[in-house]
Chains A and B, each alone.
Chain A
Amino acid sequence: MEGRPLDEQELVEQARGGDARAYEVLVRRYQDLAFRTACVIAGGSADAEDAAQEGFVKAWYALPRFRAGSPFRPWLLAIVANEARNRRRSGRRQDDLALRVAEDRPSGDAAPSPEAAALATEQRLLLLAAMGRLGENDRQVIACRYFLELSEAEMAAALGCRPGTVKSRLSRALDRLRAVLAEQGAAAAPTTLPGGDR
């Protein structure tokens, strides 16, 4: 393709007109986001792949109902997240979610001392363990905000709630996370991932 890359609105307009190649560009652009959102909501990568693929296909056929000029990401996320919710099995932890804590930060300033690195990893594991003890809704809203870095409108779309309620949901979830962390306290805390023993 020549010239500047097409912007989102142009791609969406072309896709609405039936241009599957334009839509493919959109899918490539948003497949990470869609798949990861589906991971957070479905709780498993196999279901997430299925949900994201189905969501993109449904979104294609739903394009005639997309309101021109409105943001594409929340609209797409709402469809993908809904597919993910349909595939979520009740009671499942995010065990296959594979939110692995990387042992080493990929890039960095000065390499930390081995002790400091171990301490940082330990703290992250504790935080992740605390998140694993939250309810599903709390985990999802925190993951949407911090792990997926969604906007409020996108969070509302992914979680299927009103945009006006996102802030208070997140705030309540963080309160509960803080409470869990306080409970864990300085006590010898598990260093395994939630559900990691399965």
Chain B
Amino acid sequence: MSRRELDLDRALADLAASLEFPPTPDLAAAVTARLDQPPVAARPAPAARGRRWLGGLTGWRRLAVAGLAVVLLAVAVLAASPGTREAVARRLGLRGIGVELGGNPPPTVTTAPGERLDLGLGERVSLEEARRRVDFPVLVPQTGGLERPDAVFVSEAVPPGGRVDLVWRARPGLPASGFTDAGLLITEFQGQTTPEFIKKVAVAGQVEFVEVDGEPAYWFSGEPHFFTYLDRAGRFREEQTRLAGNTLIWQRGELTLRLEGELSKEEALRIAESMH
């Protein structure tokens, strides 16, 4: 440390010793009064199948936009009893994802069509290149001929640690969605240092709690969803395109993963559990 640095360091330490924070309220009493249930909530009722997803998108790049689901927000209302909603609200909360059901969407900035390329979509690279660029091991399904994604996108900037989007074309067993020839999208990122990177997710359809390899997972189905994501400036932006469909979100160690496709819950879970 230089002399000047040392001086400032000392001055701030001196200031700190003189500061008074407001008195801490008695949080313990207020908090314990609210702990009416053990830290594991009951499972709500299972959900129904959903339908289309990513309707109207074309091309890989647009699919990459869908990959921004990582940073996304699906907003609408959950049809459920208040008791279920409460249980849901308690259970939801994978690393990197904060979920709120129902309620109003936060204010958003609507994205003009030409603005899409400016969103940090990520760069199309090979799988090997993606693995070199991000801080986490990229997992790939080891089932049903999905071992090699047809396209891979990487973004190093957002969220911290990077994000990878894997895309597969439609094929037997992987039905085409409402756009081009894509059938499956998997997004991976590390969520542990940004507890609510995906700000909120709520669905007009259904949400069901499931497990992938013993870790909590959430299965969203139904429509419509519309997605909003946090841009680099920290603003919420709404994608014009409506995305609807079936989504599985789960975590594996420090990774948070998101799978979207015109798949049944069982198919999605089988793919998810095969990922290494």
Contacts and interface: CB of A to CB of B under 8 A. Distances in A.
B35 A60 contact: yes
A57 B8 CA distance: 38
A11 interface: no
Contacts of B93: 58, 61-62, 65
Contacts of B173: none
Nearest to B197: A160
A98 interface: yes
A78 B193 contact: yes
A140 interface: no
Contacts of B91: 61
Interface string B1-25: 0001100100111111111111011
Contacts of B28: 24, 27-28, 31
Nearest to A16: B39
A27 B27 contact: yes
B35 A23 contact: yes
Interface in B175-230: 193-196, 216
Interface stretch (A1-9, A32-40, A184-192): A32-40
Contacts of A128: 15
A134 interface: no
A151 to B, nearest CB: 14
Nearest to B199: A86
Given A36-B21, A161-B160, A146 B195 contact: no
B38 interface: yes
B78 to A, nearest CB: 18
A23 B32 contact: yes
Contacts of A178: 4, 8
Nearest to B27: A31
B31 interface: yes
B17 to A, nearest CB: 7
Contacts of A149: 16
A41 interface: no
B163 interface: no
Interface residues of B, number: 43
A49 B90 CA distance: 21
12 contacts: A18-B39, A31-B26, A39-B22, A61-B93, A65-B216, A78-B193, A98-B22, A100-B20, A121-B18, A123-B11, A124-B14, A162-B161
A57 B34 contact: yes
Interface of B: 4-5, 8, 11-22, 24-28, 30-32, 34-35, 37-41, 90-91, 93-95, 98, 160-161, 193-196, 216
A53 B16 contact: no
Contact of A101 (B11, B12, B18, B34): B18
Contacts, number: 125
A48 B90 CA distance: 21
Nearest to A128: B15
Contact of B19 (A45, A48, A100, A123): A100
Contacts of B40: 64
A24 B32 contact: yes
A49 B8 contact: no
Contact of A27 (B8, B22, B31): B31
Contacts of B26: 31
A124 B18 contact: yes
Nearest to A52: B27
A25 to B, nearest CB: 8
Contacts of A35: 21, 24-25, 27
Nearest to B194: A160
Contacts of A124: 14-15, 18
Query: A-B pairs with the 9 shortest C-beta distances?
Result: A18-B38, A45-B22, A63-B39, A31-B27, A146-B12, A27-B28, A56-B31, A35-B24, A98-B22
A12 B68 CA distance: 35
A57 B34 CA distance: 7
A27 B95 CA distance: 22
Nearest to B196: A82
B41 to A, nearest CB: 7
